[in-house]
Amino acid sequence: MMACGIWIFRYLVCGLLVLTAVGVVEGKNAGKDLRQEADRVTDLPGQSPVKFRHFAGYVNVRPKDHKALFYWFFEAEEGVAEKPLVLWLNGGPGCSSVAYGAVQELGPFLIRNNQSDLILNKFSWNKAANLLFVEAPVGVGFSYTNKTQDLETLGDGVTAEDSYGFLLGWFKRFPNFKSHEFYITGESYAGHYVPQLAELIYENNKKASKDSIINLKGFMIGNAVINDETDQLGFIEYAWSHTIISDQLYHNILKECDFKSNTATSLCNAYIRSFLQAYSDIDIYSIYTPVCLRSSGQTTTKLLAGPPLFTKRELWYKLPMGYDPCTELYTETYFNRQDVQRALHANVTKLSYPYTTCSNVISKWNDSPNTVLPIIKKLLGAGLRIWIYSGDTDGRVPATSTRKSLNELGLPVEEAWRAWFHRRQVAGWVVTYEGGLTFATVRGAGHQVPVLRPDQALFLFSHFLSSKTLPPSRF
């Protein structure tokens, strides 16, 4: 019964015990949101002491819904009341923002080995903002549905709607952040998630009551999937320009494969197999870093959506993926620990499957438009600040792809392509377009920019939030 009094009653019923506990606390803390306090994390295994607060738990997608999304929220290290609120989304689709963004990339606590301790990240993005991670859609990480058929109907549209519903519920639990400037960030397939969610917020704000308006100001996405045709062309060009494929294979693919219609001849199929084989021994997401070698073989991640002509090949799902697949194993081990789940108020429904960095229970993806460029153009016209960045050693969604895709927008250039600097060194290159769009590269970073260039990533993020121009010189 003690487990019910301390743990389960936070999310389940436990009868009158909830009402009694609430009555006592309300009398002492008038106006305090008890659900918010119930989500506060106070005893996370392996965590060093910190001055900021963090919270984790579930928010129903809609009131009394059978779907609930899991979140982890970190207040800013300083100036909580003044700093913006930023949502981070990972892609896949089907991969966890908690397992990747929060503990492998930009959160305050990082998992870097198979020990229990969490490493403090001195370049955590909660130095610049209040930072919210959510696992979406249901079936990802700890997020769940009580109707298994929901896992068969997932896609971009459902993900956007459910994420929006989550945000409305989260702001009710954390009303003190409702007036903060709100930004959405993410990487990879979040190139779909982020603009689609931003558009939904923008449209719903037009008809929302005052209590339901979300103070959206802009978004930033990295190494983003945004336009299939040009993404695929840039994918091929990058492999050739970085000496991964031969001249002959490069020209043969361009000759035989139709990326506009995504139709393939038998020769195209053969050439794509050769292309994928060329990447089979290196990390496509960070072409200059080593892969993790294990006696049982390399760890791979199966992603549900990708370049249409490439994901039809079985070899696509066998490529080494992620900077260090061993780190992904450490992450899964950590989040499968019962003491960790208790501390994070997670897995309250006792899921029938283990925690994984990318979902093994989502078997298909039902809608994935071939471009989000019209959404980006629309939201630029609506006055949102939009930055897109690329780690320039990523072979999966390379800078060549993003440059070609953004050129499709046909926007006039406001400030021409130039180097930008951090700590007196070239940190990348940047171009600014009329209307509020900035595209920046990060020198020496792969698909997950904060992993290999954490200092530069935080610097870039801070400039995005403040809308400051990236430094044009060493001094």
- State the pLDDT at residue 264: 78
Query: What pLDDT band is residue 456 in, cutting at 50, 70 and 90?
Result: very high
Share of the chain above pLDDT 90, in %: 77
- Within the chain, what is the greatest distance between any pair of CA atoms? 76
Residue type, 420: W
> Number of helices (H) and strands (E), helices first, in the chain?
14, 15
Write out the catalytic residue numbers. Answer: 188, 394, 447
- State the pLDDT at residue 211: 87
- State the pLDDT at residue 371: 97
What tens digit of pLDDT does each residue of 239-264 get? 999 999 999 999 999 999 998 887 77
Length of the chain: 475
What tens digit of pLDDT does each residue of 330-346 get? 899 999 999 999 999 99
Whole-angstrom distance, CA of residue 220 vs CA of residue 367: 23
Average pLDDT over residues 356-382: 95
Which residues is 432 bridged to in the sheet? 415, 438
- Pairing label, strands 385-391, 437-442: parallel
Structure tokens at 72: 């982890």
**Residue indicated by tokens 């008890």:** 34
- State the pLDDT at residue 328: 82
The torsion of the CA quartet 245, 251, 253, 255, rounded to 10 degrees, works out to 180
Share of the chain above pLDDT 70, in %: 86
Whole-angstrom distance, CA of residue 435 vs CA of residue 403: 17
Average pLDDT over residues 194-211: 96
Distance of CA 309 to the CA centre of its chain: 24
Residue 235 has pLDDT above 60, yes or no: yes
Query: What pLDDT band is residue 324 in, cutting at 50, 70 and 90?
Result: low
Residue 152 has pLDDT above 70, yes or no: yes
What tens digit of pLDDT does each residue of 117-147 get? 899 999 999 999 999 999 999 999 999 999 9
Query: What pLDDT band is residue 306 in, cutting at 50, 70 and 90?
Result: low
What tens digit of pLDDT does each residue of 36-47 get? 999 999 999 999
Query: What pLDDT band is residue 308 in, cutting at 50, 70 and 90?
Result: low
Instruction: Find the helix or strand (DSSP H, E) in which 180 lies.
Output: none
- State the pLDDT at residue 375: 98
Using alpha carbons, list the distances in angstroms from residue 203 to 85, 208, 251, 315: 20, 9, 44, 40
Residue type, 171: F
Instruction: Find the helix or strand (DSSP H, E) in which 335 lies.
Output: helix 325-335
- State the pLDDT at residue 28: 40
CB 123 within 8 A of CB 454: yes
Whole-angstrom distance, CA of residue 33 vs CA of residue 289: 46
Residue type, 273: R
- State the pLDDT at residue 294: 56
CB 57 within 8 A of CB 7: no
More confident residue, 300 or 328: 328
Whole-angstrom distance, CA of residue 150 vs CA of residue 138: 8
Whole-angstrom distance, CA of residue 400 vs CA of residue 271: 20
Whole-angstrom distance, CA of residue 438 vs CA of residue 388: 6
Q: Is 36 left (phi over 0), alpha (psi -120 to 50) or beta?
A: alpha
Q: How many CB atoms lie within 10 A of CB 78?
A: 11
Of 133, 104, 105, give the one whose Cα is nearest residue 329: 104
CB 109 within 8 A of CB 98: no
Average pLDDT over residues 194-202: 98
Average pLDDT, the chain: 88
Q: How many CB atoms lie within 10 A of CB 229?
A: 19
The torsion of the CA quartet 333, 339, 344, 346, rounded to 10 degrees, works out to 80
End-to-end Cα, the chain, rounded Å: 64
Structural domains of the chain ordered from first start: 1-32 (no CATH), 228-326 (no CATH), 388-466 (3.40.50.11320)
Residue 108 has pLDDT above 90, yes or no: yes
Q: How many CB atoms lie within 10 A of CB 151?
A: 17
Residue 31 has pLDDT above 80, yes or no: no
CA dihedral for 344, 350, 355, 358, sign (positive or negative) = negative
Whole-angstrom distance, CA of residue 347 vs CA of residue 351: 6
Using alpha carbons, list the distances in angstroms from residue 333 to 327, 354, 362: 10, 10, 20
- State the pLDDT at residue 329: 83
- State the pLDDT at residue 113: 78
Query: What pLDDT band is residue 292 in, cutting at 50, 70 and 90?
Result: confident
pTM for the complete prediction? 0.89
Residue 295 has pLDDT above 90, yes or no: no
SS3 assignment, position 28: helix
Residue 63 has pLDDT above 60, yes or no: yes
- Pairing label, strands 257-258, 54-60: unpaired
SS3 assignment, position 435: coil
CB 420 within 8 A of CB 470: yes
Query: What pLDDT band is residue 298 in, cutting at 50, 70 and 90?
Result: very low
Query: What pLDDT band is residue 325 in, cutting at 50, 70 and 90?
Result: low
Whole-angstrom distance, CA of residue 221 vs CA of residue 215: 19
- State the pLDDT at residue 24: 32
